[in-house]
Structure 1
Amino acid sequence: MSGDNVVLARNVEGAPASPLHAQTVAFSHYNNLSAQLPLDPETGELVEGGALEQAAQCLENLEAVAEGIGHTLDDVARLTVFVRDIRDLDAVDEAFRAYFPTYVPARTNLAVAALPLDALVQVEALLTNGEGTIPNEPQAGDLVKYVNNTHNAPYDALSSQTVALSHYNNVTAQLPLDPVSNQIVAGGAAEQAVQCLKNIKAILASIDVPFDDIVKVTVFLKDLSDLDAVDEAYRRFFPDSGIARAVGYLPARTVVEAAELPMHALVQIEAVVSHGDGTPPQEVEARHGLIIEANNTDAAPVSALSTQSVAFSHYNNISAQIGLDPATGELVAGGAAAQAEQACRNIQAIIENVGHTMDDAVKANVYLRDLADLAAIEDVYARYFPGAPARRVVGVSNLPMGALVQIDAIFGNAEGTPPVA
């Protein structure tokens, strides 16, 4: 696999711009778009109206970014919708139908405690990038996007269960729905987590992808105090195969407390999955047998339920980091800026352990207990992410260990991962 891919950060006219993040950062076969607020790009102000108008403006901004780099919304592989009030998802869906009249991407929906500028809605997108990012050498032919659904998992007319392009499958965030009744399963958080994971497993089985091909999991919880119960269920599914158990493989992971989840669920789980077969017209020798490279370093906090860095093909997926001192296992003293510094230091240690630098970052997700702390962490963030990667910022009411800041990131992996010998 070529090592010539470059991190391609771009801004376009017709969408809001920020000096702190690029509107879109492409690497290899994906464009990572920054989360869009409902800002009028001419005035920089929130548009007037309620959730419907704000959702439409978010989607308008995403469309402007996509078209500005020669793409369309049909190239969206995953859409993530954040609302302040879960009841506003109906309005978001109304706007969504106008922008996605036929094809629907994988999707994640949740309510969060706060959004920047007190917005009601924020939407982000992951776009396919069939032309790749090797300078002056576009991919020979457009890669095929595979969209699949199965009756063995819950079906939603406004999302595809899985959307694959090149070496990744993007799975719609799964609620704890029984696929037969389409109702939330009985029980508490543990039972709901089991059903979410069963649904993901059914989707992957329908496309002949093993469960241990998952490289990144995001667990959304209504109440973070349910994490122990969810972890108990999680251990039943990871590792899944004999080979994975032998090496103790676990995907990278992020845990987020949601203000509310669709259908009053207690748990929702999102998965990003490797796709070793790739999608045509990639040549067979360029796409078969790629391996997952999972790495930990003692220079950053180690978890029994996640791997710090999981690389596959041209991406490294980093587990969420809080301000833990890896030597003590305790949160560092100080406020949000001190914790952000330590979280970024942990990410830097993880990525340098696998031979990369912070300049390889293509996307960062920032979760804050208090959005008022954003100004305090920006200087720290800018020092560690000098390339201004695409970014998501949301406010949450709680974080693991009572942290004030949590950051996860995706990095380019120009050398790719080797095929099985």
Structure 2
Amino acid sequence: MAHNIIKNSRNTKNAPQNLVSTQSVAFSHYNNISAQLPLDPNTGKMVIGGIKEQTTQCLNNIKAIIEKINHTMDDVVKIHIFIKDISNLKIIDEVYKTFFNDILPTRTVAVIEALPDDDALIQIDALISNGDGTAPQQPCALIKVSRNTDNAPSDKMATQTVAFSHYNNLSSQLPIDFKTNEIINGDIKAQVKQCLNNIKTILHSIDHVLDDVVKTTIYIKNVKDVYIINNVCNTFFGDYIPARTFVVVEDLPVGALLQVDTVVSHGDGTPPQLPEDSRLLVIEASNSVNAPAVPYSHTVAFSHYNHISGQLPLDPKTLTVVDGYIQAQTKQCLNNIKAIIESVDHVMDDIVKVNIQLKNIQDIDLVDEIYTSFFEEALPARTVIGVSAIPMDALIQMDIVVSNCESTPPQ
């Protein structure tokens, strides 16, 4: 592959404008879509109505962004839905399914404490396939491969796994027994094991293994469970530990204590890529001494992307949260990210997507003042949520996805 694949950042007036993020950032065979609030793009104000109207507006905004770059909603590979009330999910689903004509994408749903607009009940971001690629790649009709297995929990509103190009995106797995399709009995340790066993089963059904995982995002209801979850998770992996981020939520579907969102390498690619050209791509996991040590990888590169673990505002030497308020903590998070990126010969402007968790959503303006100073070119796509807790009692946490133009080598 070429070493100068170009990151393509684009906006449309048909969706709400945001000065601190780009609506769509494409690189290689994927497009990252910034989280969309239920804002009317003409007025910049919240739409009138309840959860039905707000869900419709969020999805219309995503649709407008996607159509502006000559794609359709059926090109969506993954959706994240952040809501304020789990009881709204039935109404959300009724609206949601009307936006797709083909097989539904993979999905994550979580109830969070706050959204960037106080009046918002929902926020949605998306990852879409990009068959045309980014320059200098030539367009190709890559096929999105959606699959389910009867040996893992089923969800009428999501596909278990959607592969496109060199990545597989799995729907978040809850601690559900596939035989009963109900949550298992047991404590956090038992629920972690069930989530990971469900993921393992799905991967096995598509001829993959857990060591093909590059990133997990773990949504938890109790921040104190992080230590237990880390210990259990790490027993499931052998060759290396994937990148990882914890997100504290207020509620999850079926009353679960956690759910696990997974990104998987897909060396065999999707048609018309030839398996013999791609199946031996190498996963490169690495760590930097200039970023805080964690019990998982700082960064995991595969094909044309790098996935960076959630970064807390920790001093890498003392492993304690830095002194100061949100400004100091924001700067430390970004410096940790910068150190990891530079350790693998990349720069901040190679970032395509940023996810930010805030203990106090009202801090967003102070965060943005510092955040924007770390970039020189077009800002990445972005999702911001408010949470009730962050590991180590931090005020902020960030994780990112980075473009990897040099790709990873074949074995």
The interval holding the TM-score normalised by the smaller chain is over 0.9
Aligned to 2:181: 182
CA distance in 2: counterparts of 1:308 and 1:293, whole angstroms: 11
Instruction: Supply the AA of the counterpart residue of 1:53.
Output: E
Aligned to 1:131: 132
State percent identity of aligned pairs: 48
> 1:115-145 deviations in whole A, cap 9, x for unaligned?
011210000110000111024x422x31011
The answer to whether 1:349 aligns with 2:339 is yes
Give the alignment of 1:14-29 within 5 angstroms. 14-29=14-29
Question: Aligned with 2:369: secondary structure?
Answer: helix
Aligned to 1:368: 358
CA distance in 2: counterparts of 1:125 and 1:391, whole angstroms: 10
The answer to whether 1:294 aligns with 2:285 is yes
Gaps spanning 5+ residues in structure 2: where?
none
Give the alignment of 1:129-278 within 5 angstroms. 129-135=130-136, 137-139=137-139, 141-239=140-238, 244=239, 249-278=240-269
Range that drifts further, 4-13 or 399-408: 4-13
The answer to whether 1:323 aligns with 2:320 is no
CA distance in 2: counterparts of 1:265 and 1:283, whole angstroms: 40
Asked if the contact 2:76/2:128 (under 8 Å) is kept, the reply is: yes
Question: Aligned with 1:237: secondary structure?
Answer: coil
Range that drifts further, 375-384 or 163-172: 375-384
Aligned to 1:108: 108
Displacement of 1:297 in angstroms is: 0.8
Asked if the contact 2:314/2:321 (under 8 Å) is kept, the reply is: yes
Aligned to 1:88: 88
CA distance in 2: counterparts of 1:79 and 1:73, whole angstroms: 11
Instruction: Supply the AA of the counterpart residue of 2:241.
Output: L
Displacement of 1:188 in angstroms is: 1.0
Asked if the contact 2:361/2:386 (under 8 Å) is kept, the reply is: yes
Question: Aligned with 1:332: secondary structure?
Answer: coil
Aligned to 2:405: 414
Asked if the contact 1:364/1:391 (under 8 Å) is kept, the reply is: yes
CA distance in 2: counterparts of 1:321 and 1:280, whole angstroms: 36
2:326 to 329, 333, 336: 336
CA distance in 2: counterparts of 1:190 and 1:230, whole angstroms: 7
Displacement of 1:102 in angstroms is: 3.6
- The normalised TM-score by structure 2 is 0.98
RMSD: 1.0
Displacement of 1:230 in angstroms is: 1.8
2:302 to 292, 312, 318: 312
> 1:137-193 deviations in whole A, cap 9, x for unaligned?
422x31011110001100111100000000000000000000000111111111111
CA distance in 1: counterparts of 2:236 and 2:290, whole angstroms: 28
Asked if the contact 1:25/1:33 (under 8 Å) is kept, the reply is: yes
Displacement of 1:12 in angstroms is: 1.3
CA distance in 1: counterparts of 2:110 and 2:251, whole angstroms: 6
Please list every run of at least 4 consecutive aligned residues from structure 1 whose deviation after the TM superposition is greater than 3 angstroms: 283-286
Asked if the contact 1:166/1:275 (under 8 Å) is kept, the reply is: yes
> 1:98-122 deviations in whole A, cap 9, x for unaligned?
1124420000000000001121000
Instruction: Supply the AA of the counterpart residue of 1:333.
Output: D
CA distance in 1: counterparts of 2:264 and 2:348, whole angstroms: 23
CA distance in 1: counterparts of 2:17 and 2:128, whole angstroms: 18
Instruction: Supply the AA of the counterpart residue of 2:306.
Output: N
Give the alignment of 1:372-383 within 5 angstroms. 372-383=362-373
- The normalised TM-score by structure 1 is 0.96
The answer to whether 1:359 aligns with 2:349 is yes
Displacement of 1:294 in angstroms is: 0.7
Aligned to 2:271: 280
Instruction: Supply the AA of the counterpart residue of 2:311.
Output: Q
CA distance in 2: counterparts of 1:228 and 1:302, whole angstroms: 14
Asked if the contact 1:252/1:318 (under 8 Å) is kept, the reply is: yes
